[in-house]
Structure 1
Amino acid sequence: MAEEPEVTEARDPAPYDLVIRRAHVFDGHQARAGLHDVAVHGGQIAAVSAEPLRGSREVDAAEGWVMPGLIDTHLHFYDVRAVSDQESVQAFEDNELPGRLDLFLQHGITTIKSVGDPTGGILRTRAEIAAGALRGPRLLATGCGITGRDGHPAATIFGDNPWARARFTAEIDSVQQMRDVVHALADQKVDAIKLLSEGACACPGSPQYVWRNAAFPVAVELERLPRDLLRAGIETGHERGLRVTVHTTQQVAAREAIEAGADGLEHGVTVEPITDHSLIDLMLERDITYTPTLWIHDEIHPDTRGNVKKVADAGVNIALGSDTFSGRGLFGANTLEEAELMVAAGMTPVQSLIAGTSSAARQCVRPDLGTVAPGKRADLIVLTADPTQDISNLRELSMTILNGEIVVDTSSPQGGIHQ
């Protein structure tokens, strides 16, 4: 008689680094039905399971919500008012920068994209965060914004600050200069390129295109970036494998940018209602990402909300970007307000959440971010209330997880963590 094979008791698999138990999940695209355990291992999401999972550390979400950490794709980090020489830059970096970075984590924002800070400083900050020398969200950066000679923001925001003007912006007036600047930024390993077609305010009743901002005393007449320079910047960025987005505010400028090959519109159309539906058709045809920045434009330009609803209803890709800058509101909190303003403009809470997660990740060309799924980067937030029904529940933050590590825990004194 054949000998029976020896039966050995199966051992439990090695536990995950972290398991968030009993959570509703918004995965970056939709809310999953039922409760799930989300497992993290080695900085990545390892499993999303309706069955219980074991971890070296376990967090009971208590039927709260897990979703990707928010991504703010449009902000300005350095204080444009305080920075006017190397000494003031050093003071900002030493005294202000660390706290402002931490504010994003405290509000559940795990990735930020700078779109117009001094190239050397912001790339140095990016490197220090990546190396663990600074605590902060994942930082992506375009370096300086590229504009025409005497364009926005060189002649507007920095009109009386020549030191900062030369570092926050690159002013060009020829195709070759444009190509040289884009190549120089690409050589420094920026994450994307930002071009500025025009300023931020076309004042009614003025025969010229005039930039005016209540925070600055002088109105400045501007011209749009010429089409040949716009096209050269976009083509060169694409040659270097970089996504190129363009700052616009008018329909005609938005069309010019798209026809020149832009990947996205920063602000989109703000100073007038979108009356040309073929422009929206062009956005869809060219797969454009529209970043409305309501936080900065909502009170100034009454047509902005209606334009956001038009493009959202049409199915245009929308990415969350607050246009946060120093001196107004609070870093991090401004991003949450942007998500709320999107809903106030007529988007659903789920559309707003998509804009701040999977769509934002797509705009940043970071497919590893913005989704709760195995293999994705474990940048997550845990909420105590449902953001898919009420977008303001983004403010009910229990935990922020970055690269698989709990970096913010507002729950119990023990943090809800079980060893």
Structure 2
Amino acid sequence: MHQEAEAIAGAEARSPATYDLVIRRAHVFDGHQALTGLYDIAVDGKEIASVSPEPLGGRQEIDVAGAWVMPGLIDTHVHFYDVRAVSDPESMRAFEENELPGRLGLFLDHGVTTIKSVGDPTGGILAARAGITEGTLRGPRLLATGCGITGRDGHPAATVFGDNPWARERFTGEVDSVQEIRDLVHHLADRKVDAIKLLSEGACAHSGEPTYLWQNPAFPDGVELERLPLELLRAGIETGHERGLRVTVHTTQQAAAREAIEAGADGLEHGVTVEPLTDQSLIDLMLEHGITYTPTLWIDDAHPDARGNLEKVSRAGVHIALGSDTFSGRGLFGANTLEEAELMVAAGMTPTQVLAAGTSGASRQCARPDLGTVAQGKRADLLVLNADPTTGIKNLRDLSMVILNGELAVDKR
């Protein structure tokens, strides 16, 4: 009930007043829970100014007549550039001019107001972030790690980009010494990335043989990989923290997840997907360290244990963030994020838990406390839905309006 008390206090502090925008008579999911009753939500500039059970006045008013308002969705794990199409400067330029703007817009059209890129070419993705910030590109708020950091001949350098050396140099950062990983993290931090992503291993089961073999239907013979050595993993995390950045680590097996947590990681990208999560002490370690677990079922649901592992960590109280691992060439940007939410419910989470994972939980993963909640002082990224998403996750698809930074970005009325 504390959110409702804060909402009322916020209204009393500013009432009577005229705001830039008031969304009138809405049911509210505030990023944590559904509030009781109907509320007016006032926006001034880019921020939420009040969430009030009493009527408010605005220079612009939208009466939604009992529709649902919630924070904009945050997808914390996206690969934006088309890894198959970009292989030289000309194809990179063609993608950025012809494909990038429309694909950014798709996220907004599906109610995704923030995305986090976790392994795109550093220069390109930071230029896209600048274009959105400056208003020359229409799209969601874009957070970026720049290239993903992996061991020399690690994943995805030797796998996804094994036959694309030009892209390999730009999408991945391969390191084989403590000094190299420290230097690369400092370089990314100097370029003002929003976080750091390290890749500990590939996306396959490995039972401890001398050779780490990455196996995927696209590579029937397998690709021999090098895992990121422990001393490099520790150095990358330490350096990221020295620069004030959260560091998340790509893992798929229990041993790698434990190693990442013990090395100081803030979150697990994918978590445990390729084997059943049988180690309760690993779940306890996640809780002890406040780890955020990003299940990426959209890409990992083919693994028979991925759903059950998510249910286990969610039931235990581990922090969950929505992240789809969406990439060009399969499905549709934005729509993939909604499919991820539906898969998380299918795995045993409640709609309310999944909505929190895609809003307040995702904001925690991104270290952006200004996002992900409907409350006074938070960023005015809001969705208006025609049906209650807390009773059916598919109601996320019944979208009426998207408000980004206090401005109407999508209107489907």
Q: Give, in angstroms, the shift of residue 14 of structure 1.
A: 4.8
| 1:390 aligned onto 2:395 | no
| Number of the residue aligned with 1:290 | 293
| Number of the residue aligned with 1:414 | none
- How big is each residue's C-alpha offset from its partner over 1:128-186, in whole Å with a ceiling of 9 and x where there is no partner? 10000100000000000000010000000000000000000010000000100000000
| Number of the residue aligned with 1:324 | 326
| 1:371 aligned onto 2:377 | no
| Number of the residue aligned with 1:8 | none
Q: Give, in angstroms, the shift of residue 224 of structure 1.
A: 2.1
Q: Give, in angstroms, the shift of residue 377 of structure 1.
A: 0.3
| 1:197 aligned onto 2:196 | no
- How big is each residue's C-alpha offset from its partner over 1:3-55, in whole Å with a ceiling of 9 and x where there is no partner? xxxxxxxxx95521111111100000000000111111111001111111111
Tell me which amino acid in the other structure corresponds to 1:375.
G
Paired residues in the alignment total 399
| Number of the residue aligned with 2:263 | 260
The separation in 2 between residues aligned to 1:230 and 1:304, in whole angstroms, is 24
Map 1:10-409 → 2, pairs under 5 A? 14-202=17-205, 208-216=211-219, 218-299=221-302, 301-409=303-411
Distance 1:98 1:223, change over 3 A: same
2:21 match: secondary structure: strand
Tell me which amino acid in the other structure corresponds to 2:395.
N
The separation in 2 between residues aligned to 1:106 and 1:353, in whole angstroms, is 18
The separation in 1 between residues aligned to 2:21 and 2:71, in whole angstroms, is 16
Tell me which amino acid in the other structure corresponds to 2:24.
R
Q: Give, in angstroms, the shift of residue 216 of structure 1.
A: 4.4
Tell me which amino acid in the other structure corresponds to 1:324.
T
2:374 match: secondary structure: coil
The separation in 2 between residues aligned to 1:35 and 1:396, in whole angstroms, is 19
The separation in 2 between residues aligned to 1:205 and 1:366, in whole angstroms, is 38
| 2:204–2:252 Cα contact (<8 Å) kept | yes
Identity rate of aligned residues, in percent?
A: 79
Tell me which amino acid in the other structure corresponds to 2:195.
A
The separation in 2 between residues aligned to 1:368 and 1:203, in whole angstroms, is 40
Q: Give, in angstroms, the shift of residue 201 of structure 1.
A: 1.4
The separation in 1 between residues aligned to 2:272 and 2:204, in whole angstroms, is 11
2:278 match: secondary structure: coil
* Structure 1 gap ranges (5+): 1-11, 412-419
1:295 match: secondary structure: helix
* TM-score, normalised relative to structure 1: 0.93
The separation in 1 between residues aligned to 2:92 and 2:222, in whole angstroms, is 27
Q: Give, in angstroms, the shift of residue 362 of structure 1.
A: 0.6
| Number of the residue aligned with 2:12 | none
The separation in 2 between residues aligned to 1:37 and 1:208, in whole angstroms, is 60
The separation in 1 between residues aligned to 2:31 and 2:292, in whole angstroms, is 16
| 1:203–1:212 Cα contact (<8 Å) kept | no
| Bigger CA radius of gyration | 1
Alpha-carbon RMSD across the aligned residues, in angstroms, is 1.3
The separation in 2 between residues aligned to 1:215 and 1:331, in whole angstroms, is 22
The separation in 1 between residues aligned to 2:375 and 2:92, in whole angstroms, is 40
Which one has the bigger helix percentage? 2
Distance 1:337 1:208, change over 3 A: same
Q: Give, in angstroms, the shift of residue 215 of structure 1.
A: 3.6
Q: Give, in angstroms, the shift of residue 62 of structure 1.
A: 1.7
- How big is each residue's C-alpha offset from its partner over 1:277-322, in whole Å with a ceiling of 9 and x where there is no partner? 00000000000000000000002x1000000000000000000000
Q: Give, in angstroms, the shift of residue 217 of structure 1.
A: 5.3
Q: Give, in angstroms, the shift of residue 214 of structure 1.
A: 2.5
Tell me which amino acid in the other structure corresponds to 1:389.
T
Tell me which amino acid in the other structure corresponds to 2:134.
A
Q: Give, in angstroms, the shift of residue 77 of structure 1.
A: 0.2
